[in-house]
Amino acid sequence: MMAAVTMVIAVQRNLFAVVVLFGAYSFLMATVLVALDAVDVAMTEASVGAGISTVLLLSALHLSKGVETKPLHKPFLPLLVALATGAALVYGTLGLPAFSDPEAPIHQHVAPRYIHDGLRETGVPNIVTAVLASYRGYDTLGEVTVVFTAGIGVIALLRRTRRRKQGGQA
């Protein structure tokens, strides 16, 4: 179903429909994440993708035309490049261990320590929060800095310049 939504998004020209379909895609992704037992990520995906993203895209859509302009030429070469890269990536994933294999190397290094000692060392039952905020607090600091930079970028780009309104002094 997600593949169907993605194809329609790529082909569809009416931008309002595309925004609604993006919200639907985010919702489907959130349910997939719940099926994979990653509830924290699912909640973030649902709130950011299906909630805030849709609102911000709609308010951006309000500022531009409602229909995507026709491309100048048929995109055969980009399609070929995308298919070749996708095929190479799929070929690469064939070398990975089986999905959710408990003997896989990624589950042997720090994950057992987090699972066994997380509650005792941090006092927080939710292992995801313990890893995010305590064991890997630096990474969360980096993420918040990225969000902050995005906000600063938007402010820098879109702040109304008063000079133009006062008679064109550069």
Residues that bind another protein (CB under 8 A): 39-40, 42-44, 47-48, 51-52, 55-56, 59-60, 62-63, 120-126, 128-130, 132-134, 137-138, 140-141, 143-145, 147-148, 150-152, 154-155, 158-160, 164-165
Smallest separation, CB 154 to another protein (Å): 5
Smallest separation, CB 72 to another protein (Å): 26
Smallest separation, CB 5 to another protein (Å): 22
Phi and psi for 14 in degrees, rounded to 5?
Answer: -75, 115
By beta-carbon proximity to another protein, the closer residue of 70 and 162 is 162
- How far, in whole angstroms, is CA 113 from its chain's centroid? 28
The dihedral through the CA atoms of 78, 84, 87, 88 has a sign that is: negative
Coil, strand, or helix at residue 74?
Answer: coil
141's tokens: 């600091």
